[in-house]
Amino acid sequence: MFTRARHLSCLLAAAWALASPPAQASDNLYVVVAASNPVQALSLRDVVALYTGRTRAFPNARMAVPLDFPRDSGQRQAFYWTLTHQDLAQINSYWSRLFFSGQLQPPRAVADEAEMRAALKRDPSALGYLMHEPADPALRVVLTVPLAAEPK
């Protein structure tokens, strides 16, 4: 049975939890490769070129395999808005034009950050992005970009 003091302490704990700000993702975007990839750093221009299909190789001329999140995901929206200042409708239209013209295929989508990390570790030519800085020594951050605020 709850005593009055215990009941009050439970209510106070619940109120404190509701009043506390929720844990948020980082204010940064982390572009990541496997630690076995020889690339040590990429510029914003390099990443944009790889994720828009303008180039298919890292600056060291090794083939790059960009990985993406699902078509309408929040991570994907934040990534492309930060890099290109284009929303998902514009990015999806861009990739549809390239795909249906037979020029290029968009980056392969992975379901979530756990799958992104696993795919990056499996393939040294893979390139991905995360909303949380990876603590795994098998991954290397090659670019950190502050997330751009999306228009209201």
CATH number at residue 110: 3.40.190.10
Q: How many domains does the chain fold into?
A: 1
pLDDT score, position 135 = 95
Q: With respect to residue 7, please indicate whether it lies within any of the assigned structural domains.
A: no
- Distance (Å, rounded) from C-alpha 127 to C-alpha 60? 14
Residue 6 lies in a domain: no
Report how far residue 141's alpha carbon sits from residue 124's, in angstroms, rounded to the nearest whole number.
Answer: 13
Give per-residue pLDDT as tens, 51-92.
999 999 999 999 999 999 999 999 999 999 999 999 999 999
In whole angstroms, give the CA distance from residue 92 to residue 98: 10
Q: List all residues 6 or more positions away from 21 whose beta carbon is below 8 Å from its beta carbon.
A: none
Q: What are phi and psi of 113, to 5 degrees?
A: -65, -35
Of 53, 73, 55, the C-alpha closest to 116 is 73
Nearest to 84 by CA among 141, 24, 29, 25: 29
Show the domain range for 52: 22-146
The answer to the question of residue 12 being in a domain is: no
Which residues does 132 contact at the CB level (< 8 Å), separation at least 6? Answer: 25, 26, 30, 113
Q: Would you say residue 4 has pLDDT above 70? A: no
User: Does 1 map to a domain?
Assistant: no
Per-residue model confidence (pLDDT) at position 111:
96
Q: Is residue 45 part of a domain?
A: yes
Classified as helix, coil or strand, 23 is: coil
pLDDT at 100 (0 to 100)? 85
Tell me the pLDDT tens digit for each residue of 5-54.
443 333 333 333 333 333 345 799 999 999 999 999 999 999 999 999 99
Distance between CA 28 and CA 17 in Å, rounded? 26
State residue 99's pLDDT score: 86
Tokens of 152: 């209201």
pLDDT in tens, 98-141: 888 887 889 999 999 999 999 999 999 999 999 999 999 999 99
Confidence (pLDDT) at 88: 93
